[in-house]
Structure formats: C-alpha cells, structure tokens
Structure 1
Amino acid sequence: MSSLGATVISEGIRFAAWSSTARRLWVSVFDDAGIREIDRLELRPEGDGVHALFVAGLAEPTRYGFRADGDYAPEKGLWFDPDKLLVDPYAVAIDRPYVYDWRLAQRRGMGADTAPLMPKALAITPPEPATVLPPLFRPGGLVYEVPVRAFTMLHPEIPQHQRGTIAALSHPAIIDHLKKLGVDAVELMPITASIDERHLPPLGLRNAWGYNPVTFMALDPRLAPGGLAELRETVAVLRKAGIGVILDLVFNHTGESDRLGPTLSLRGLDNPTYYRHTPDGRLANDTGTGNTVACDHPIVRELVLDTLRHFVNHAGVDGFRFDLAPILGRVEGVFDANASLLRSVLEDPLLADRVMIVEPWDIGPDGYQLGNFPSPFLEWNDRYRDDVRRFWRGDAGMVGALATRLAGSSDIFAKAGQQASRSVNFIAAHDGMTLADIVAYERKHNEANGEQNRDGHDDNLSWNNGIEGDADSNDVSKARLNDQRALLATLFASRGTIMLTAGDEFGRTQKGNNNAYAQDNETTWLNWEARDQLLERYAALLSAMRRAEPSLGEIRFLTGQPSERSDVPDIAWLTETGTTLDEVDWNDPERYRLVMVLSGERPDDGRLAVIFNGDRRACVFTLPSREGFMWVPTEANDTTDISRQVSGRAVIFMIERRAEQSRTQEKP
C-alpha cells in the first residue's frame, strides 16, 4: 500500500499528499466537530512529488483536509487555491456526505474558505486485514445488481433506521430473497462517497446511483453509517449464506466535473496529472461527465490499485465491476488492452484471483471495446441485450443472432483461441428501462428529470402491448407478463455469466424513465409490497433449473460435436418440427421459432431442450427422440402460472430423462 494519506501510529499521525505542480501544501486539522480549523501545518517536500509531515500527539479519528498553492491558470489546467479545502484522495473515511454548493466552484479570490462546506477526512487505523478467501463467485453464475439505498428503502421487514444502508443487506429477509433467487453474487452499485451534479439541487433532485465519486476509498456515510466495518460485516454475513460481493467502482471520472465544476480534491492538488487534457489544455471528456481520470499516469494507477487492495484486504470482497472501463486502458487517450493498469490488476498477487467485470465502452474515440479486454476480464455484453430485445420485440431475421447470444457470443469473445465466453449477459440494467418497462413503453418518459425528456437513450428496443404505460385490460396485463417471462427465461437459458437487476424479478417499474439517476424517491425505490409474486416465483424456478442443469452454467464455447465421453453433439439447433436448421431456415426473416438442445458430458446424461416461440400464435413442437429416454417438462414450466394461458411468446424447458426414471418420478 502507498505511504500517502494519513498514517496513524501511537505517537501521532503522518500526513502525506502527492503533487508535482504545487509549490506548497498544508494539512488543516479540525476540532472534533469538524467545524473549527485548529491548526494549519505545512507539509515538507520529500522528493518525487511527495509532501509529508509527522504531527506528534494526534490520535484517531482526527479530522483533517489538505490545501495547496501554486499558479492559478485554469486555461493551463492549474487550479491552485489555498482557500479550497481538499479531501485526501487516500481518505478511508469522511465525517459527512458531500453536498453540492455553488461556492465550491468559485474562482480564486472570488470566494471564502470552503472548509465549512466540505466533509473532513478521518485519520483512522483500518481494521486488521481480513483473511482473504477465494472468491465465491465463478463465471457462469448469477450476478444480482443492487442499488443499495433503493433496494431496502421500502422493505417492510427492514427496521426503519437501517433502511437504505449496506447493513440492511445482511437482514434475514434480504438473505432469504437472495437465496430463493439463487444469487451467486450481489454487485453493489457505487457505495463510495459521491456528490450531486450541480444542476440537480435547483431541481430538488439528488443523485440516486452514486456514479459521481469524489474520493475512491471513503464510503458514503449515508450508505454506510458504520463505515468500513459495516461493509466488512455485511460481506461476511453474505458470504456465510454462500453469496459473494462485487463492488461497482468508478475510476473514469470524478464529481469535480468540467471547468465550471467544484474544486474538491484531485483538481486542487494536481489537476494536470490526475485528469487527461486535450492538446489545447481543455479537460478531456471521454466520459460525458466533464472530466476524464488519467489512468495511464503512475500515481493514478497506484491510487486505483491501492483502492482495490483496500477493499479486498479490509472488506473481503469477491471482486469489482468497472464503470466506463476503456478509460482504465487508455494510454495517451488511446485504448490499449495491454495497458499498464489493466495488466497490473491481473498480475497483482492480492487481486489476481478476484472477479473483474468491465463496462467495455466510453464515449471517447474508439470507445466501444466489447470483446477487446484481456482475459479473464468479464464484459457487459450490450449486443446480447439488444439482440434478445429485438427478437422478442418481433424484429425480422433475429433467430441467428439469438442463437449466437444464447451460446455465449463466440463472435465477440472467441478471439486468439479463447475457448470460453467472457460475456455478462443481461436484458436490463440500472441504466435504461426496467424489464417491466421494456414491454410497456415504446418511448422513454424522463420528464421528471428536469431536462425536458432530452436525457437518456432514445432507442430502447422496447415495445408496448396495448396503451402505453398502464395496462388497459386483463389481456394486455397477461401479454406483458408473458413477455417478461420470456425475457427472463431467455436470460437464464444463456451460456455465460448472467446479470439480473434487483426488482426485475418481480416487475419493478420506473414508469418509462430510462435514466432515473436523479430519482432518489419512489421512482427507483423497490416497492416490495406491490411486487408481482407470480413473476418472482417464476424467476426463482428458472434459477433453480439453471443450477440443476450444468450445461446452462457452462462458459466454454459449444462446438456442435460430441464430447470425448458422449456420442451426442453438445448443441443442436432445430426447427419446430425437430429438423436441423439449414441455411434457408437461418436466413428466413419470418422465422420466430427455435429449439436449442444441449447435451451433457456423458452418454447417460439427459439432454435439455429450450423451446423459443417468438410468434404470438401457438405451435406444436416436435423434439428428437432417443431410445430409452423421454422428454418431461421442468418445474420452470409450472402449469399453475397464469401466463400459461397465453399461447405463443413463450420459452419452454424440457429435460430428457430415462423412461424408467420418469415413470418412477410420476408414481404417487
């Protein structure tokens, strides 16, 4: 770990910060309330950009911040202003949340000291490193994306004081729900301290997602009032239940935003180093948020690695998901799969076995890098999302694309001889329409965000059955439920890692808002009491079936050939009549039906048939017979479900059992 930050020992505290362009640096020490500055001490240059000072007699949890002085020339990327209190980039805790205030962005000489507006870093000793155990999560499992605050704000069984916190995730009611769904790992949307975008407070809105960080290690006090210990204890409880924890971290930008943004930390310490700039001195904006962290600089690379080590060492997390991850691989602005930071993450002794998931796109030049990250990085696969939506929307000629996505997207990930898929398959995520809204809204409805519905994607590949929004009849309601079931079934029938966003299993809606980042209210809070329990039960049955059928959780690519221990091909693609799809079938724009037959490793293993009927008309399917075996429905085809009343638009799972075994199971 780096020697930067605040290091507490019995005799006092050593403060250290890094800047290659500041002329002077100070540490401001505050009283126990974090209000009155009781001392301002200058740090001493130690070489290589490090400025440090040991202050005897101080003890944890001393409240402090840094100040820096040097040239003030924003047009040259220099923003030094000693009136701006700066939060330590290595702070592991802060004493209050960040609150946006326009005075934080005032130019030098035009405003007062910002210390009263800023949280103070807490100089504390982190807990002893946890025993670092192997990750519970393995590729091919189910990742459950969780917005920590929204997940439990309305949960009736969670105590009021605990709602919206990390600790609430360890409540028995939450554990039971996760286990019922067969969740292998929760992916926690950002829990580190973030700040609202400057346009939100005047609208009476606040950021509900957390993708606007200021400091990378310090947890948001609103989400973790118990600090790092709260995260650590929650991780331990989830692990005991067999559920891993993946942290969604943001290293691509910070809440300091563009040139009109606030000076909070990195900008005031060394803006030219911490952020990328264009040749004419402007902040590069490959993120759409106003700034881009310079992840190719050695000091930034070390900060990122130290942050990852911090959460593994002191919280025991299974791994990480990286937002707008091409930024982490950009070298002088150009993406390089062999970039030093990416390579260091994979080679670090503490991090090498962790689960690493990337969002493989940003908005910079050549920012779409799906399939181009080095193995074993797992990648969010938006091609899967879009092709599955197109198929169930009824777009023509999508059968071939659907089959490719079901089989792990070898067209994207079978590069350089790779034998296994690194795809993270998902239908919906936090960003975009919910699963229920995909089948109910053809257009976005983001008016509540205060941007005249201009924000968010316009092309959602969504549809509506009947009148947009609320169902106007039982038939429309059933049709929408049927389409949700079909989308869920497709997800659970896909090879590779799968991801489900919390609440999509029981029909959560945002009323068509596909960019609800600013809705920290009932728009995003999960309504547990109004959940669709039939849909939730169906999702649990799908998950149980996936766990029971190893061929679905596999990540190796299919070959269409028998394995060494079987005479049955590992995959067969059939028409509804049981014949193998030929070139004409694959290219038929009016084909909306497909049968996928997966085989086991051994000759005695029964096959699994997954039948996709994207047509609204019912159809009789014929499955290939095998002597001594018979086809039986899985429990995921529960005949008591109301959606069984709707013919067509369905996914049916059939398992091949030995005839005598099937007859035995049928006996009362």
Structure 2
Amino acid sequence: MSSDPAIAGPARPGVTLTPEGALFCVFSRHATQVDLCLYSTVQPSLEIGRVRMRRGECDLWCAFVPGVKAGQLYGYRAHGPWIPDRALRFNPRKLLLDPYALAIVGQPDGRTGMLGGTGPGTYPGAYDNGAEALKSAVVETSFDWQGDRLPRLPWQDTILYELHVKGFTQKHPDVPPALRGTYAGLGHPAVIAYLKNLGVTSLQLLPVHQHLDDQFLLEKGLTNYWGYNTVGFFAPHAEYAAAQDPSEQVREFKEMVRALHAAGLEVILDVVYNHTAEGDERGPTLMFRGLDDRMYYRHTFDEHGSNYINITGCGNAVDSATPPALRLILDSLRYWVTEMHVDGFRFDLAVTVARDQHDNFDANSQFLAAVAQDPILSQVKLIAEPWDIFRMDSYQVGGFPEPWRELNGKYRDAVRKFWAGDEGSTADFAKRFCGSQDVFAWNLRPALSSINFLTSHDGFTLLDLVSYASKHNEANGEDNRDGDNANHSVSCGVEGPTQDYRVLNLRARLRRSLMATLMTSIGVPFINAGDERGRTQKGNNNAYCQDNELSWLDWSTCDEAMLDFTRRIIALRKEFSSLRRTQYFDGVMNPTTGLADVTWLEGDASLLCHEEWHDPKRAFFGALMDGSPPLLLLFNRGELPQKFLLPGSEETLWSVVFDTSLPAGFLEADSRLIEGGVAFQIKASTLVCLRLNEGPALVGAHC
C-alpha cells in the first residue's frame, strides 16, 4: 500500500477508481492526522489494512491504494483536539463515513458505541466502534443509459406525485415479492402503467439518500420511515434496493430512473441537506462531527463556548455557507443529475440551506447564488420547502429567487379552510386559486412559482382530511403530542370510519371538490400518492415512524369512483390550456370574445364587488375564465344549494364539464345544453365547471 497519490490533476473529495487502484480523499481543516481503514468485503467487521493519509491542498487528505476494486469497504479515523467548547470533536476511536461515499454498508443503531463523547460531551468516547460502524463502499459507476435523456417537462405541464419508494409497492400484487418496496419495484411495468394511466408526470420520491434510524424510535420498535435523517448524500438507501452488492444497488437505482424516463415520467428527489443524523452533542459520531465539526455545522460561539444552532429541530444544521459543506451539497446535487439522471429536487427545510455566513436567510446566499449560476443545477426542477423553525425569518414563502418553485403552505391552508366552511375564507381562497400573486409577484416571480398542494406525506391524507377533526397519533408512542394541531380538517359529523351514507357522501363530495380546485388553480399541482384511491392513515397526521400497513399503499382496496374522477380531472387540465396558465390574471379584455381573462360573478351573474369578497358569510361565487373554450367555475362551500344565473342570453349555450356533487363527478359528452339566463342549481360543498359551447358569454353590469 502507498500513501502517494498516483492520479494526475487536482485531488477531489471521494474515491477515484482506476485500473491500478483507488485514490481516497477526504476533507478536514482542523485534523492533525487522518487514517484510511480498509475492511473485508466478506467480513465487514474485520479491518484488513490501515493507511496514513497525506494532507494536500484545500485541506484534502489523500491516499492512493493499489489493487483496490469496486466493493472495497472503508472508513476514516480523524485525529485532532477534543475541545467541544470550540466545536472540535476529534476521536480516532470512531470510524467515520466518507461524506462522498457512493454506497454505504451496515446497520448501526446509534447506541453508546457510536457516540463520540460521554455525558454532555466533555470526554471523548473510549469505545472503538470500528467493527460495527457503518462502512463506505467503493462503487463501479459505469452504466449503459441506452440513450436516456431527461424529459425536461415545462412547469405548466407538470403534475407532481409524491410517493415513498418502499411504501408505494410494498403491497403491490403485480410486483414480484422480491422486488416489492424497492427501486426495481418502482420501475416495474405494472407500476409505471398505473402512473401513466393516472396522468401524473413527475414522481417526487421521499428521501432516498442513505439514512439512519433514530435510537429513540428503535427503542419503541419504530423506525424513521420517511428517511429525513441523512448520513449519505451520494448513496442510495440500501434498504430500498433488491440487490445486496453496493455497486448493484447503485445500478438498480439507475435502472429505475431509465425505466421511468422511457415512460416520460420525471424523477424528483426529496433531499435533506439542512441537517444530518448526527443530531446534537448527544448524538452519534458518524461523519461530519468526527471529520471537522466546526466546518460542517452551524454553531454559536461566545464566552460560554460553542453550541449547535438547531434551526431544523433535529439537533444540528449543516453550514451551507462554508466552502467544504457548500461544495459537498453542490457536488451531491450534480452527481444525482449527471450520474443518476434525476430531473430535480425538493429541498427539505430549504431556508436552512439558504442561510448565509451570519445564519440569516438571504436570497443571495452562497448556496442560492451558486445554484443560480451552475450550468447543470440551474436547468433542473428546484422546489423549496420555504421554511425552517425557531427563527424570526424562518417562514419564507415567496422569498426564494428564480428559478425556484416553492411549496405553498398558504395555498394548502386557504383551500382547506374554504372547503371546511370557515367564515371569512373566501377572499384568501380566491388569491390562492389565482396563483398567489400577492405572495410571488412582488419579487417578479412568475405565476408558476407556486407548488399547490392540499396534502403531503407530512399531515393527513385527503380522505382523513375530511374524516377527522383531530389528529390521532397514538401509534407513534408520544401520547398524541406530536404532529400539527392546526389541520383545518373536518369530520363531516362522525370522527373516523362510519357507515352513515350521508356522511360518506359528503366526504366523497368534498374530496372531489378539493381535487378539482387543485387541478383548476394557477400553479403546479402536487398530489400525495394514494389520495386518488382513498388511502387512510386512520387519522395519524405524522406517520414518519410507521413503516407498516398504516403508511404503505394498500392496493387491495380502492375508491374506484375517486380514482376515476382524479384521472379525468387530470386529463381535463391537460386538455384545456386555460387551466395551465403561465401568467397571472390581469383583467385585460379579449376583444375577440369580449371577456376578461377572469370575471368574478355573483349568483345573479353580475360582477362581484370588491367589498363583497370580505363578507365573512360569503360562501358562493363564480369565476368566468376566458379561453378556448371559456370556462365557468361555480364554487359553493356552503351547507345549502345555491342558484346561479348563467351568463349570456338564450343564444348562449353552456354544458356541464364536471359537477363534484355527482358520484362520478363527470357527465357524458352528450349531456344536455343549458341556455344563458337560466338559473342553474349548484349543490352544497360543490364545485361545478361549465364550458361555453356557443354564443356570447355576456356578463352583468359593473359594480
């Protein structure tokens, strides 16, 4: 073995595999010595060699080892000062992961052997955990992509579908048992056929980076099912692979992406760069803490020493403003685009990643500026979860620059309140329906900046949203204290399951109205997997630790009517360009049709006056949208039917496109024509869409 780098050119972090061997490089500014430890591929607990690494430029420690091949297991031991009060936590008794590892082997559980210090972190842990620690694996990266290209769907044609790689296929009857819950399972033809038939365009996968299960969950017989506890920013989570060999696991992920792309489906990853599984000073030492705690994490420094800045609620925050952490995040993102062919990213707690060197959110921060000028990353889909916690500047909906899109929590809350029947919710509902211009336009952001969602993995399913007035998280073992209390949900008269036909009918109607609102709003629609089938979590709105039937999609049952309605409302959005607007409404008149791009109407077809929007009792209005053809949407969130005078004269002919009060939602194409000037009844808790078939859509007098 040799410690002399044998590869020309500047060193880069990670492993560079050559026919002669491999060059290992890892960053640490404050270490005094770093050792590379090699482990047996047959017996991962057995160390078979140790190499003293040489410090080079840019604080990279490097060692070239002849004869290394794909599959080799390795880790690092970093020597240096143990001064926790100054964010220096070196402990060579702890084997450390390579932050650039392309695959990770092992299943540590965060017990004492993984801890870097004892008690409050005053003394370094004396236990050597090399045998049972996670190991990094050298990976063979060659792959035949067979001409694969990123679909590059424009935002106006994008329909996001969030799913969990394991949970989506774990119970799928048409996926072979050995492939269920895996990358290969998600790429199975039966699964792809379902997704294509549904009509979604882009899969947003819950975290697939290698993650660690929290010890407090394991002690309760639970796991970190969602995976927001990353230890490997380059490594696909091994549990989701049918293959056992590390290189084959990476190849399996690529095969999944290739299959989805061949079907025209995009792959977007939910990524967690805001914190790691190391937690606070009481957590395990796995990588960043042991390699260079001061450079990788955000800290406060004062006369009392240093403390982790916990703006994530997970104990630590990655310092994306320092060169090594920023480089790692950018290198990771580029790797997943260039090597794994993913189409974009949804950033968990993106405000943390977008903070500057002073720990403040900044639209021109190091990370956001770097992404904006990057020729690769600036061209893929970028979605921000625009908040973190515990800071005055934590909520930043509307604050991100282009080309970012943002999960719009204001849309979710306003639409839920409206259909739940909350008084005074109509004006805000209309703003969200129109693309949240008040939130984004001030920053010159386009109308498609808003990712419109009603439900996601984090919260109630769509069925539970209309079946439970309160959360029911007892299964999580925290006495129902966890999870959001402000859900804006309704039970429709009975908490949970019922056989009452009237309750079931109302729940179904509300779900159709909610889904129809989502698909007719300006912005990018986002669907939580299973909502189209009537999936339930039995009132659990924080199922992050439920790796079981509560979270897995149950393919043995399905609300066929809701599934059919969802398919048809998605198809309708694709059919009518007026439902995929790329501009905000501006009220400008179309001289050809005589219509503004949108006209807000009272029940008598007169214009809805400004002050009427803020009437707390208002529960009913119409929106006449210009287009080919013009569409008329009638909203009634009230408990009683309402009559609406259809615009136009007897020469004007309207037909119903969908009516969410109907069990099927949609009428047949030969449904009767209705003349303008006729009073049309819209039932309670209902959204109706009519299309103009013939004649002028005249509207009433101005306010």
TM-score normalised by structure 2 residue count: 0.90
Query: Which range moved further: 464-473 or 536-545?
Result: 464-473
Call closer, same or farther: CA 1:503–1:330 in 2, change over 3 Å. same
SS at match of 2:256: helix
For the residue of structure 1 that corresponds to 2:352, the secondary structure is: helix
Corresponding position: 1:278 with 2:300: yes
Which residue in the other structure is 1:630 paired with? 653
Partner of 1:74: 84
How much does 1:55 deviate?
1.1
Q: Which moved more, 1:529-538 or 1:282-291?
A: 529-538
2:33–2:80 Cα contact (<8 Å) kept: yes
Q: Give the CA deviation at 1:505.
A: 1.1
2:129 alignment partner, one of 114, 118, 134: 114
2:315 to 270, 290, 293: 290
1:186 aligns with 2:203: yes
Aligned-pair CA distance for 1:418: 3.7
Contact 2:636 2:685 in 1 (8 A): yes
CA distance in 2, matches of 1:399, 1:2: 59
Q: Give ranges in structure 1 of 5+ residues lacking alignment.
A: 661-668
1:261 to 247, 265, 283: 283
Q: Equivalent residue of 2:518, what SS?
A: helix
Task: Please tell me the residue identity of whatever aligns with 2:152.
Answer: L
2:632 to 609, 612, 636: 609
Please give the alpha-carbon distance, in whole angstroms, between the structure 2 residues aligned to 1:643 and 1:592.
23
- Please, which of 138, 154, 161 is the counterpart of residue 138 of structure 1? 154
Deviation at 1:624, TM superposition (A): 1.5
Match of 2:347 among 302, 306, 322: 322
Distance in 2 separating the partners of 1:483 and 1:419: 30
CA–CA distance in structure 2, aligned partners of residues 513 and 175 of structure 1: 28
| Residue 575 of structure 2, aligned match among 541, 544, 548 | 548
Could you tell me how far 1:640 is from its partner in structure 2? 5.6
Paired amino acid for 1:612: F
Report the more deviating stretch, 118-127 or 401-410: 118-127
SS of residue matched to 2:301: coil
Q: Residues 117-148 of structure 1, C-alpha deviation per residue, up to 9 Å, x if partnerless?
A: 22211112322596674543322321000111
Q: C-alpha displacement at 1:36, in angstroms?
A: 0.7
Aligned: 1:220 with 2:229: no
More displaced stretch, 568-577 vs 125-134:
125-134
Using the aligned pairs only, state the percent identity.
38
Return the alpha-carbon distance in structure 2 between the equivalents of residues 431 and 633 of structure 1: 35
1:337 aligns with 2:363: yes
Check 1:52–1:359 CA distance in 2 against 1; reply closer, same or farther (3 A cut): same
Contact 1:422–1:555 (CA<8 Å) still a contact in 2? no
Determine which structure has greater relative contact order: mean sequence separation of CA pairs < 8 Å that are 6+ residues apart, divided by chain length. 1
Please name the residue that 2:701 is paired with.
Answer: none
Q: For 1:386, which of 413, 418, 427 is the aligned residue?
A: 413
Q: How far off is 1:528 after superposition?
A: 1.4
> Residue 658 of structure 2 contacts residue 665 of structure 2 at CA under 8 Å; is this kept in 1?
no
What displacement does 1:594 show?
A: 1.9
Of 232, 250, 262, the residue aligned with 1:240 is: 262
CA separation in 2, counterparts of 1:578 and 1:147?
Answer: 46
Deviates more, 1:495-504 or 1:174-183: 174-183
The question of 1:8 aligning with 2:17 is answered yes
Q: Give the conservation status (yes or no) of the 8 Å contact 1:191–1:219.
A: yes
Question: What code does the residue aligned with 2:368 have?
Answer: L
Structure 2 residue matching 1:412: 3-state secondary structure: helix
Alpha-carbon distance in 2 for matches of 1:413, 1:134: 28
What is the CA distance between 1:652 and its match in structure 2? 1.2
Task: Report the counterpart of residue 665 of structure 1 in structure 2.
Answer: none
Letter of the structure 2 residue corresponding to residue 203 of structure 1: K
Aligned to 2:75: 65
CA distance in 1, matches of 2:211, 2:51: 28
Aligned length: 656
Q: 2:463 touches 2:531 (CA, 8 Å); kept in 1? A: yes
| Deviant stretches of 4+, over 6 Å | 642-646
CA offset at residue 491 of structure 1? Answer: 0.8
Match of 2:26 among 17, 25, 28: 17
Q: 1:532 to 1:100 in 2, by over 3 A?
A: farther
C-alpha separation in 2, matches of 1:411 and 1:129: 47
Query: Quick one: which amino acid aligns to residue 386 of structure 2?
Result: P
Counting only pairs closer than 5 Å after superposition, residues 419-434 of structure 1 correspond to structure 2 as 419-434=446-461
State how far apart, in whole Å, the 2-side matches of 1:373 and 1:11 are.
Answer: 46
Q: Determine the C-alpha separation between the residues in 2 that align with 1:135 and 1:522.
A: 33
Opposite residue 294 of structure 1, the aligned amino acid is D
Q: Counterpart of 1:166?
A: 183
Deviates more, 1:471-480 or 1:494-503: 471-480
Unaligned runs of 5+ in 2: 1-9, 118-122, 668-680, 697-703
- Deviation string 1:445-474 (CA, Å, 9 cap, x unpaired) is 111111111111111111111221112411
Q: Which amino acid aligns with 1:161?
A: A
1:368 aligns with 2:410: no
Q: Is the 8 A contact 1:136 1:239 kept in 2?
A: no
* 1:170-211 deviation digits (Å, cap 9, x = unpaired): 222211221122111000010010011221011000011011
User: Which residue does 1:231 correspond to in 2?
Assistant: 253
Name the counterpart of 2:670. Answer: none
Is the 1:399–1:594 contact (alpha carbons within 8 Å) kept by the matching residues of 2? Answer: no
Secondary structure of residue in 1 paired with 2:442: coil
In the aligned structure 2, how far is the partner of 1:263 from the partner of 1:198? 13
Aligned pairs (5 A) from 1:212-611:
212-224=229-241, 225=243, 226-280=248-302, 281-331=306-356, 332-365=358-391, 366-563=393-590, 567-600=594-627, 605-611=628-634
SS in 2 for 1:315: coil
Distance across 2 between alignment mates of 1:475 and 1:220? 45
Structure 1 CA distance for aligned equivalents of residues 505 and 81 of structure 2: 66
Question: C-alpha separation between the residues in 1 aligned to 2:407 and 2:652?
Answer: 38
CA contact (8 A) 1:541 1:636 kept: no
Does the aligned pair in 2 maintain the 1:481–1:643 contact within 8 Å?
Answer: no
Residue matched to 1:199: 216
Note closer, same or farther for the CA distance 1:531–1:348 as it changes in structure 2 (3 Å cut): same
Q: What displacement does 1:311 show?
A: 0.8
SS at match of 2:215: coil
* Contact 1:538–1:636 under 8 Å retained in 2: no
CA contact (8 A) 1:542 1:636 kept: no
Letter in 2 for 1:349: P
Q: How far off its partner does 1:577 sit? A: 2.1
Q: Using a 3 Å threshold, how does the CA distance of structure 1 residues 609 and 97 change in structure 2: closer, same or farther?
A: farther
Match of 1:621 in 2: 644
State the TM-score, normalizing by the size of structure 1. 0.94
- Structure 1: distance between partners of 2:439 and 2:68: 55
Q: Does 1:94 align with 2:109?
A: no
Give how far 1:218 is off. Answer: 0.6
Q: Deviations over 1:317-376 (max 9, x none)?
A: 111110000111101200110112112112211222100000000014211111010012
- 1:257-306 CA-partner distances (Å, limit 9, x unpaired): 01110000111100011000012400110100000000011111111111
SS in 2 for 1:431: coil
Deviation at 1:2, TM superposition (A): 7.2
Change (3 A) 1:562 1:135: farther
Q: Distance in 2 between matches of 1:643 and 1:544?
A: 12
| Cα-Cα RMSD | 2.2
C-alpha distance in 2 between matches for 1:245 and 1:98: 29
Instruction: Classify 1:223/1:134 alpha carbon distance in 2 versus 1 (closer, same or farther; 3 Å).
Output: closer
Matches of 2:81 and 2:168, distance apart in 1? 46
Whether 1:658 aligns to 2:694 is: yes
- Please name the residue that 2:38 is paired with: 29
